[in-house]
Amino acid sequence: MKEYTVKELTQMFTKSIILILALAVIFGGAFGFLAKHRQSTTYTAHRSVLISHNYQAAPTQNNDQNAQVMADQNLMPTYEELSQGRTVAKETRSLLPKKLQKKYTTDDLDSMIHAKSHQQSLILEMKVETGSSATDAAKIVNAAAEAVQKELPRLKAGVGTVTPLAKATADDVTSETTPKAKKYAVVGAALGGLVGIVISFGGIAIKDFLRKNGK
């Protein structure tokens, strides 16, 4: 049985490293390229809406005023549900510029508009997510807040005063692009390196087996 020389071991090691690095680069590039072509950006806009009664006009006893505040807070989940229904989506569409009315159907807006209430708060957070642009997201969430102001008193008696707060702007909109090309490239490189290791050690094992058997 012939033993490996230092030169042969060096050659095998060098070839293995080259193969591993080459496959890591190829797989990383391929995965990154694939992610780039599958990327989509979601734009998210927010606008707050205050829902309350005139507590100063309520009876002067603190207990009565506190009871009214608590009653309003307890109804916030109901307002949340009503504010993301088709009625609000339809009114939102009517408040949009004509260009956006042609671009989005009521069903589109119904799936884009979300409302979120919080415990012990009278603020309803309106949120819109769209893949179009930051400008569209801001305009739609502003229209949605105004639609809630108009429609909520019709949908729920005794709702109190509905006041949309500061308007959203395109600069306020957040965006998220997925999938992350860099993350895909790293995963691809790791996978390519692993494949390279398997092939390299597999080749070395086969070559060693043949040498030991005198072939």
Percent of the chain with pLDDT over 90: 43
Query: Residue length, the chain?
Result: 215
Q: In the structure, what pLDDT confidence band is assigned to residue 192 with cuts at 50, 70 and 90?
A: confident
User: Cis omega (within 30 of 0) on the bond before 179?
Assistant: yes
Domains and CATH numbers, the chain: 6-38+180-212 (no CATH), 40-177 (3.30.1890)
Lowest mean pLDDT: which of 6-10, 85-89, 123-127, 198-202? 6-10
- In the prediction, which pLDDT does 11 show? 82
Lowest mean pLDDT: which of 76-90, 108-122, 144-158, 189-203? 189-203
Measured in degrees and rounded to the nearest 5, phi and psi for residue 212 equal -65, -25
DSSP string, the chain: -PPPPHHHHHHHHHHHHHHHHHHHHHHHHHHHHHHHHH-EEEEEEEEEEEEE--GGGS-SSHHHHHHHHHHHHHHHHHHHHHHTSHHHHHHHHHHS-HHHHHH--HHHHHHHEEEEE-TT--EEEEEEEESS-HHHHHHHHHHHHHHHHHHHHHHSTT--EEEE-SPP-GGG-EEEEES-HHHHHHHHHHHHHHHHHHHHHHHHHHHHHHHHTT-
Q: Is the pLDDT of residue 213 over 90?
A: no
- In the prediction, which pLDDT does 124 show? 94
User: Which of 56-60, 72-76, 107-111, 180-184 is most confident?
Assistant: 107-111
What is the chain's mean pLDDT, rounded? 86
pTM of this prediction exceeds 0.75: no
- In the prediction, which pLDDT does 55 show? 62
Lowest mean pLDDT: which of 179-183, 184-188, 189-193, 197-201? 179-183
Do the Cβ atoms of 65 and 55 come closer than 8 Å?
yes
- Note the pLDDT tens digit of each residue in 30-65: 877 887 777 778 999 999 999 987 666 555 555 567
Residue 100 carries which side chain, given as an amino acid letter? L
- In the prediction, which pLDDT does 63 show? 54
Q: Tell me what the mean pLDDT of segment 150-179 comes to.
A: 90
Instruction: Report the distance separating Cα 83 and Cα 144, nearest Å.
Output: 9
Instruction: Report the distance separating Cα 21 and Cα 214, nearest Å.
Output: 32
Residues linked to residue 117 through DSSP beta bridges, in sequence order:
124
- In the prediction, which pLDDT does 162 show? 92
Do the Cβ atoms of 197 and 20 come closer than 8 Å?
yes
Q: Tell me what the mean pLDDT of segment 134-142 comes to.
A: 95
Q: Is the pLDDT of residue 178 over 60?
A: yes
- In the prediction, which pLDDT does 1 show? 47
